[in-house]
């Protein structure tokens, strides 16, 4: 039990950790959140069988009647610090591709909240429960800033001049607000079958803004008469729809529980606009294009199975492991189903102070499209898909703040490497286009070849995430 002062400090920490951020690359599917239960999160988000915490009902509706309480409530906050580092291919004097040189690095942070509650009633061998939750499902948040500079002065440890600033600001989360019903049938003590159903409304308000702004130095360099065109692209859209999930959990004796969930494919409606604007410049008119977005956004079907094992162990241990199949093929033929692993363990080191450790390996899909031609010369759209693996290690603990009142803390570190096309093609910064001159005004040497890099020399992206998940849970 903690003192009042300690509790105040903990709650303050909980609220002050209001920071979170995600990858700017996952612009279609968004970045999937892990478990919203801080305990399960610390165990590698393995919690399809979760008979400890209320927030587990959003992972598997059948977890509701597994819970040992009759009424429960949990509040969670998730904090995410994301580091995005972009690099260009680097060649040595033999013209070998040897590695990659960093040209932009961004660190941002975001926060989000979730909550879940339930009531349950036992009647003889039967049990029934009703619950509700609200949680973020995927995040579209992301910030990116890249400064375009020439390379003057770098050999003398000076700062090169700044030519332009590129920004991306994305915001929005797809939230899921669900109702859960569950029923249990007890075959004997410690043997019961639970079936649950989850129906959730999903909604998101997403904004993605991309801009290129020239620096005052550039404008001074080319002169007041020359227009260096500013560029912006603003997409605003809303997603709305519903998702269902069915789940089952079977407690088999005192040592083992197994569970499975199935989430059918869901289709959300898209409504919004995509506006692109580029200033007019030398002999080239302004580009101002508004596209009305009206379509569908598919969420793939998912099948997840897992177990929880409670051996007799001096450190009171629970081991969870889940295997998940996400059928991205539902969304596009070019995608294959992916398999994700979640595993975690909880040990109580001294008395009831737990140490939780976990691991998860989650695959996601990126895709790009580019115009191309088929064998007969017809114009087609080429789709380039990339499956990207994000491994994460997790750890966490919990503090009993009072009777039936627990604070769980989960910490995760994840990283991933992948290739992506340059976000802002270099050709745009070729000032000869804007000045009409045969020589550069913004670049110090004449041989620089400003052209857009394709897949022959894509960006290498390294991302890492540090996530803190904190949850307060009450149960009676």
Partner 1 sequence: MKKLLLMLFALLCIGFLTAKVDLNTATLNELMQLPITEAQARDIYEYRLFVHRFESIFDLRDISSIDQRTMNSLKPLVVVSLVTETDEIAARREEIRDLLERMDSNEGASEGMADVWEDYLMTPQNVNRMHFDDLISLPNVSAIDAVAVLRRVARGDTIADTRDLRNSLGLSYYGYSNLRNYVYYRESPVRNKLMVDAQLQYYTRFFEEGQYDMLHESFVPKTYGNSWVSIPHDKRISYWGYYNLDQIDPDMMIKLRMRYGNNYKFGLMNYSAKAHQGWQDMNTKEFIEGSKYYAGYENTNLPILDNTSLKLYLGHYRATYGEGLVMENTDFYSARKTGFGFSKRIMGITPDLSRTTEYALKGAAIEIANPKFGASFFVSQDDKDALAYVNRDGSYVMRDRFGNDVFTDENGQYFIQNNTRFYTYEDGSLVQGDKRKLFTYINPTLAYDNERLIEGEQWFNSVLNPTPAPGQSYEAFAMPYINLANRTDAMREKLWGTHLQVSPIIGTKLGFTSYTALYDNAHLVVPDYNSLIPTLIRDSYYYTKLQKTMNAEISNLYSTQTDTYSRDYRRVLGFDAGVVLGNTSVQGEYAELTVDGEDHKLGDDPKAYLMSAHTQFENLYFLTLFRNYDVNFDNPYSSSFSEHERYDDTIIEKNIYALTNPSISDLYQNGNQSQPERGVYFETRYKFNNYFTIGRSYLDIWERLTDGRRSARFQSELEFRPLYQLGMRLRYKNQVNRYDDLAERGVSKTNEYTMAIRTFLSNRDFLELEYRYNTVLSPPYTSLTNPAEPGNNSMAGAMTLMTGDYIGVNYTHNFSRSLKLQGSFIYWFGHGISHWDWEDMEIDFMGEKGAKAWIAISSRISNNMYMNLKFRNKTFQDKELRIRQNNDPNHSDLADQLTYFDRVEHSENTIRLSLDYRF
The residue (of 205 and 400) whose beta carbon lies closer to partner 1 is 400
Q: Tell me how far, at minimum, the Cβ of 331 lies from partner 1, in Å.
A: 18
Q: Which residue has the tokens 């803190």?
A: 468
Q: Which of 75, 357, 450, 466 binds partner 1 (CB under 8 A)?
A: 357
Q: Which of residues 132-191 bind partner 1 (CB under 8 A)?
A: 151, 154-155, 189
Tokens coding 371: 């115009």
Task: Determine whether 354 is exposed, middle or buried from the number of CB atoms within 10 Å of its CB (0-12, 13-18, 19+).
Answer: buried
Interface size with partner 1, residues (CB under 8 A):
60
SS3 state of residue 56:
helix
If one asks whether residue 442 binds partner 1 (CB under 8 A), the answer comes out as no
Contact of 442 with 468, CB cutoff 8 Å: no
CA dihedral 98, 103, 105, 106 (to 10 degrees): -140
Residue 330 vs residues 123, 140, 300, 334, 343: alpha-carbon distances, Å: 41, 21, 5, 10, 26
Q: Which of 3, 4, 5, 94 binds partner 1 (CB under 8 A)?
A: 94
If one asks whether residue 451 binds partner 1 (CB under 8 A), the answer comes out as no
Q: Which of 12, 15, 16, 97 binds partner 1 (CB under 8 A)?
A: 97
Q: Which of residues 184-223 bind partner 1 (CB under 8 A)?
A: 189
The residue (of 213 and 352) whose beta carbon lies closer to partner 1 is 352
Displacement of CA 235 from its chain's centroid (Å) = 19
The residue (of 1 and 8) whose beta carbon lies closer to partner 1 is 1
Largest pairwise CA distance in the chain: 88
Residue 376 vs residues 112, 334, 372, 373, 383: alpha-carbon distances, Å: 51, 22, 11, 8, 18
The residue (of 29 and 366) whose beta carbon lies closer to partner 1 is 366
Using H for helix, E for strand and C for coil, what is the string for 12-35?
HHHHHCCECCCCCCCCCCCEECCC
Task: Determine whether 81 is exposed, middle or buried from the number of CB atoms within 10 Å of its CB (0-12, 13-18, 19+).
Answer: middle
If one asks whether residue 310 binds partner 1 (CB under 8 A), the answer comes out as yes
Compute the Cα dihedral for 149, 168, 296, 298 and give only its sign: positive
If one asks whether residue 228 binds partner 1 (CB under 8 A), the answer comes out as no
If one asks whether residue 99 binds partner 1 (CB under 8 A), the answer comes out as yes
Stretch that binds partner 1, among 194-202, 268-276, 315-323, 433-441 (CB under 8 A): 315-323
User: What span, in angstroms and rounded, lies between the C-alpha atoms of 324 and 249?
Assistant: 15
Stretch that binds partner 1, among 52-60, 91-99, 169-177, 374-382 (CB under 8 A): 91-99
If one asks whether residue 339 binds partner 1 (CB under 8 A), the answer comes out as yes
| Strand 97-123 to 142-149 pairing | unpaired
Q: Which of residues 381-400 bind partner 1 (CB under 8 A)?
A: 386, 388-389, 391, 393
The residue (of 101 and 187) whose beta carbon lies closer to partner 1 is 101
Q: Tell me how far, at minimum, the Cβ of 101 lies from partner 1, in Å.
A: 7
Q: Which of 289, 315, 369, 373 binds partner 1 (CB under 8 A)?
A: 315
If one asks whether residue 367 binds partner 1 (CB under 8 A), the answer comes out as no
Q: Which of 95, 224, 374, 375 binds partner 1 (CB under 8 A)?
A: 95
Q: Tell me how far, at minimum, the Cβ of 474 lies from partner 1, in Å.
A: 16
User: What span, in angstroms and rounded, lies between the C-alpha atoms of 81 and 86?
Assistant: 17
If one asks whether residue 460 binds partner 1 (CB under 8 A), the answer comes out as yes
Q: Which residues bind partner 1 (CB under 8 A)?
A: 89-99, 101, 151, 154-155, 189, 254, 309-317, 319, 321, 336, 339, 341, 343, 345, 347-349, 351-352, 355, 357, 359, 361, 386, 388-389, 391, 393, 413, 415, 417-419, 445-447, 455-457, 460, 464
């Amino acid at each position: 039990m903690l003192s009042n002062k300690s509790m105040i400090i903990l709650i303050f920490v909980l609220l002050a950790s209001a920071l979170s951020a995600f990858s700017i690359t996952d612009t279609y599917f968004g970045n999937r959140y892990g478990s919203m239960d801080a305990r399960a999160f610390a165990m590698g988000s393995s919690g399809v069988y979760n008979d400890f915490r209320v927030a587990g009902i959003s992972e598997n509706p059948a977890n509701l009647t597994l819970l040992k309480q009759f009424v429960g409530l949990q509040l969670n906050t998730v904090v995410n610090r994301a580091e995005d580092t972009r690099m260009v291919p680097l060649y040595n004097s033999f013209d070998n591709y040897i590695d990659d040189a960093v040209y932009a690095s961004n660190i941002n942070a975001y926060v989000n909240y979730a909550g879940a509650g339930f009531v349950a009633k036992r009647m003889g061998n039967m049990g029934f429960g009703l619950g509700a939750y609200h949680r973020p499902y995927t995040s579209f948040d992301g910030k990116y800033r890249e400064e375009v500079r020439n390379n003057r002065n770098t050999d003398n440890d000076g700062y090169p001049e700044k030519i332009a600033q590129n920004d991306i600001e994305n915001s929005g989360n797809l939230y899921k607000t669900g109702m859960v019903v569950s029923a249990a049938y007890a075959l004997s003590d410690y043997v019961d079958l639970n079936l649950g159903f989850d129906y959730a409304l999903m909604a998101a308000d997403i904004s993605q803004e991309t801009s290129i702004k020239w620096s005052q130095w550039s404008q001074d360099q080319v002169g007041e008469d020359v227009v260096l065109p500013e560029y912006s692209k603003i997409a605003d859209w809303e997603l709305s729809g519903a998702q269902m999930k069915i789940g089952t959990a079977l407690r088999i004796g005192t040592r083992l529980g197994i569970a499975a969930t199935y989430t059918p494919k869901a289709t959300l409606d898209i409504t919004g606009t995509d506006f692109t604007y580029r200033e007019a410049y030398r002999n080239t008119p302004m580009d101002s294009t508004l596209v009305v977005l009206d379509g569908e956004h598919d969420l793939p079907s998912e099948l997840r199975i897992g177990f929880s094992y409670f051996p007799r162990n001096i450190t009171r241990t629970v081991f969870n492991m889940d295997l998940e199949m996400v059928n991205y093929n539902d969304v596009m033929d070019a995608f294959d189903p992916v398999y994700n692993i979640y595993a975690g363990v909880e040990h109580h080191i001294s008395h009831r102070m737990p140490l939780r450790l976990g691991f998860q390996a989650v695959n996601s899909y990126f895709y790009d499209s580019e115009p191309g031609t088929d064998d007969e010369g017809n114009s087609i759209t080429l789709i380039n898909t990339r499956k990207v693996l994000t491994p994460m290690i997790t750890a966490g603990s919990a503090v009993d703040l009072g009777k039936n009142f627990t604070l769980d803390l989960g910490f995760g570190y994840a990283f991933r490497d992948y290739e992506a096309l340059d976000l802002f093609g270099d050709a745009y910064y070729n000032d000869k286009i804007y000045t009409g001159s045969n020589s550069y005004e913004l670049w110090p040497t004449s041989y620089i070849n400003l052209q857009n890099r394709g897949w022959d020399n894509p960006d290498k992206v390294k991302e890492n995430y540090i996530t803190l998940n904190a949850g307060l849970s009450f149960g009676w």
